[in-house]
Amino acid sequence: MTPALDLAGVSLWRWDAEQRRERHLLRDVDWTVRPGEHWALLGANGAGKTTLMNVAAAVHHPSDGTADVLGQRLGRVDLRELRARIGLVEARTSRAFRQRLTAGEVVLTGAAGTIALRQATVDDATRARAATLLERFGCAALADRPYDACSQGERQRVLLARALMPRPSLLLLDEPATGLDLPGREALLSAVATIAREEPETATVTVTHHVEELPSSTTHALLLRDGAVVSAGPADATLTGANLSRTFATPVRVDRVGDRWMARAEASW
């Protein structure tokens, strides 16, 4: 099957006017994400996670190397059409909908990828899809509630439903649990885990600083430090104390609890 993401030797740099030199944000990243795989992307602040996600989301082109997204080579494809096949959930996206829309209407905007709801483009099949997704993520009762009146955790689940409206082949979750309390985080992670069952061909990438914020459906992980890959592969082999210690430049202990992970920093090397 065609990979959802296929990056080979990807580097990206920007000119630093203050220091009058190129600043490398990514260095020789090789990464392949196949349909139905569910990846975690971890690293410290400044490690390059957001930059790598922007390449995956067809927002940034690499300065060197090749990046194929859903079988399309960046630099040779209409990015607007490609982005329509990519679902994206960001914590900051929530603020864009704080208007008079209901939660159900926010989900409906995902069909056309717009912020405003265009009622003329909404048919019965679209409404049925939105209702199904809201129910799947435990938000059916929120359909007629003003989006502003929803909790942060509820908003994130609504945005997850919105991102899945066009049946994307690739779903990117950029720190989706940021700002959530414990019940909100667990409800969100449970919702993300259902994607593996209900949308089996969809590949997902979840960016986080914390292994505790990874859904139980996680199959693979990529660890970044200073723009370079520390380790990548199946989750159990990658999310180890040794690898995370190298990633965060501090001694880390990792424990597996059921189908989830826990990590804590050790006192000293």
Structure tokens at 242: 């040794």
The Cα 81–Cα 71 span in angstroms is 13
CATH of domain 1-85+169-269: 3.40.50.300
pLDDT given at position 24? 83
Helix (H) or strand (E) holding 196: helix 182-198
* Interval 49-83: pLDDT, tens: 999 999 999 998 899 999 999 999 998 888 888 88
* Interval 97-127: pLDDT, tens: 666 889 999 999 888 877 777 776 788 999 9
At 181 the three-state DSSP class reads: coil
Arithmetic mean of pLDDT, 233-257: 95
The Cα 179–Cα 194 span in angstroms is 22
Which amino acid is it at 120? Answer: A
> Is the confidence at residue 226, as pLDDT, over 90?
yes
pLDDT given at position 92? 64
* Interval 124-178: pLDDT, tens: 999 999 999 999 999 999 999 999 899 988 999 999 999 999 999 999 999 988 8
pLDDT given at position 244? 96
Annotated domain spans of the chain: 1-85+169-269, 90-167
* Interval 189-210: pLDDT, tens: 999 999 989 999 999 999 998 9
Q: What is the DSSP letter of 208?
A: E
